[in-house]
Structure 1
Amino acid sequence: MSDQAQALRNMIQGRENGDYRQTKIITVTSGKGGVGKSNFTLNFALTLQSKGYQVLIFDADIGLANIDVLMGVSSKYSLYHLLKRERTIQEIIHTAPGGLQFIAGGSGFNDLLRLTEEELDFFASQVELLNGTVDYILFDTGAGLSKETLKFIVAADEAIVVTTPEPTSITDAYAIIKMVHSLGHKVKYRLVINRVSDFKEGKHTADKISMVAEQFLGLNIPALGFVYDDPNVSKAVKKQTPFTLSFPGSAASESIRQIVLQFLNGEKRLSAKQGGMKGFLQKMKNLLA
């Protein structure tokens, strides 16, 4: 709470000086369940944070929210309590191992889709308080293209699509990209191939999706990288600890570090007129209207 309050004070002071960071919104999604999307989101966020960036995870998986389970922590409050005006945005932020901040979603995201204009304005005003207090907000969505997931993909500054080399996973990953594209939405995508046996398999999978997307949809979808299939990942899940913390020397942890480096190498700071929190909230309001 005190850290968050200090961050808000820093944001206000930064605004007065005309120099404060613009929070970037990233949605992490997948075409099907069981590809390791939430585990990737968690460890990606922790590794980003280890590089000096402040990161907040929004667990936006309505049916199977599990970020807190992966971290072995309980979430007393969720988005539901914010929408019911029982708690403020600062009060529903939890701190996990490694200092990572997260907000549990649960049934609150169902309520988000039924907000009145007044309630939506309240939600927007609360979420906007986070702008500048963190560098990145990651929305970990449910698998597949539900109406909730669609909104988070479209409203974010970019979407990371997680898949595996399995044919069904590849097909479903492409399907979600194709469906969003067919609805007329422009989205910046990047690919992560999880559980690859070697570099060749990872590159082949990414190239296959990228080639088809470019040929049939006219989209350029680069790969952020690959995460090697690693028995330490399942060991960490059973221990309810992120594998980058419990097994920092593992192949999977090194994969995440390389992905974060690739991600940061391609990053450009958002200007006040580009995307960010205000752009996200405006798009969300338009989609919920």
Structure 2
Amino acid sequence: MKDQAELLRQKMMQKSFQSRPYNQKAARTLAIVSGKGGVGKTNISVNLAVGLAKINKKVLLFDMDIGMGNIYHLINGNPSLSIVDFFERDFPLTQLIQAGPAGLSYIHGGSAFSSLFEWKEAYQEKWISGLQSLIAGFDFLIFDMGAGATKESLNILQAVDEVLTVTTPEPTAMTDAYSMMKFIHMRDPQKIFYLICNRVESRKEGQETAGRLGSTMHRFLNVKPIFLGTIPEDSAVRKAVKMGQPFLLSFPKAKISFSFEQIVHQYAEEPKGTFKEGSRFISKLRRFFTERGGDE
């Protein structure tokens, strides 16, 4: 019965998406990264998507840790299909869209595969066309990027409108965060960067961390990330993970939820002077995939 109910729910959600009027402007595209593992990147990805959905934004969250995805664990999901089914079994991306909490939509990255997923050249245009079919139906496409760097993930990082880097005050996390932003900036000097400092003991600690990172970026790269805010260390996060729920929903009155709501609202407001023309994500993605063989 549970499987039948889930299937019915998914069909209704997909039908709703197909009948949804398109926005006049394409979705803002955001990749969420961290130079170092274990800084809470995926938890932030999920709660940011949930927070945007709570203020009536249409959000599609992609789990790009293909083959090792874990977003569904944080939203008590039970997806039967993953992005691998799009590539290897010809399921359309619209059929992979799962309904999450607070009106969030997400696409599962797949998990527990017996062999590693490998991109094939034939997947390139298929991937671009699939994303093109979605970009006008949402306000935000958010890519929770997996660990490591592949040519395909670099193409996404170069093509998205914005990149959000998650760090903690730990020196190694700060160093890796700077290296990640530098790496992306060297390939796209026009990229808009955001920064969140997670697991801080105090707001001052987070602001000092962001200040050092911002100053280093400005000094050596002539670019300064937009600091969205700090997220305090809070036991509510661990409890929410065990419950399989976003902390914004399971502990709405916790101090971390209060801080995060402010971050969501700040990000939702388009940065003046930086996002006027709408997304060029698809055209840039197509160009980067075309050039990856070294045509430049």
TM-score, structure 1 as length reference: 0.87
Change (3 A) 1:109 1:43: farther
Change (3 A) 1:169 1:64: farther
* Aligned position for 1:99: 103
For the residues of structure 1 that align with 2:126 and 2:49, how far apart are their CA atoms? Answer: 27
For the residues of structure 2 that align with 1:86 and 1:148, how far apart are their CA atoms? Answer: 19
Counterpart residue identity of residue 264, structure 2: V
Asked if 1 retains the 8 angstrom alpha-carbon contact of 2:159 and 2:282, the reply is no
For the residues of structure 1 that align with 2:275 and 2:223, how far apart are their CA atoms? Answer: 22
Q: List aligned pairs for 1:184-223, cutoff 5 A.
A: 186-223=190-227
Give the drift of 1:199: 1.0
* Aligned position for 1:4: 14
Asked if 2 retains the 8 angstrom alpha-carbon contact of 1:151 and 1:287, the reply is no
Change (3 A) 1:270 1:183: closer
Give the drift of 1:42: 0.3
Q: List aligned pairs for 1:1-289, cutoff 5 A.
A: 1-11=11-21, 14=22, 20-62=24-66, 64-106=68-110, 110-111=117-118, 113-116=119-122, 119-183=123-187, 186-267=190-271, 274-286=278-290, 288-289=292-293
Unaligned runs of 5+ in 2: 1-10
Range 79-88 or range 48-57, more displaced: 79-88
For the residues of structure 2 that align with 1:53 and 1:27, how far apart are their CA atoms? Answer: 17
Counterpart residue identity of residue 9, structure 1: S
For the residues of structure 1 that align with 2:139 and 2:218, how far apart are their CA atoms? Answer: 31
Give the drift of 1:217: 1.2
The secondary structure found in structure 2 opposite 1:132 is helix
The secondary structure found in structure 2 opposite 1:84 is helix
Range 168-177 or range 122-131, more displaced: 122-131
The secondary structure found in structure 1 opposite 2:163 is strand
Cα root mean square deviation, aligned: 2.4
For the residues of structure 2 that align with 1:178 and 1:278, how far apart are their CA atoms? Answer: 23
Asked if 2 retains the 8 angstrom alpha-carbon contact of 1:32 and 1:144, the reply is no
Range 274-283 or range 238-247, more displaced: 274-283
Range 51-60 or range 172-181, more displaced: 172-181
Counterpart residue identity of residue 98, structure 1: A
Change (3 A) 1:205 1:109: farther
For the residues of structure 1 that align with 2:54 and 2:229, how far apart are their CA atoms? Answer: 19
Task: Report the count of equivalent residues.
Answer: 279
Give the drift of 1:103: 0.6
The secondary structure found in structure 1 opposite 2:20 is helix
* Aligned position for 2:8: none
Give the drift of 1:110: 4.1
For the residues of structure 1 that align with 2:149 and 2:182, how far apart are their CA atoms? Answer: 11
The secondary structure found in structure 2 opposite 1:153 is helix
Counterpart residue identity of residue 150, structure 1: L
Counterpart residue identity of residue 130, structure 1: L
Give the drift of 1:270: 5.6
How much identity, in percent, do the aligned residues show?
A: 33
Asked if 1 retains the 8 angstrom alpha-carbon contact of 2:81 and 2:96, the reply is yes
Change (3 A) 1:205 1:146: farther
Counterpart residue identity of residue 144, structure 2: D
For the residues of structure 1 that align with 2:42 and 2:231, how far apart are their CA atoms? Answer: 13
For the residues of structure 2 that align with 1:211 and 1:247, how far apart are their CA atoms? Answer: 34
Change (3 A) 1:170 1:86: same
TM-score, structure 2 as length reference: 0.85
Change (3 A) 1:66 1:287: farther
Change (3 A) 1:185 1:248: same
Range 145-154 or range 53-62, more displaced: 145-154
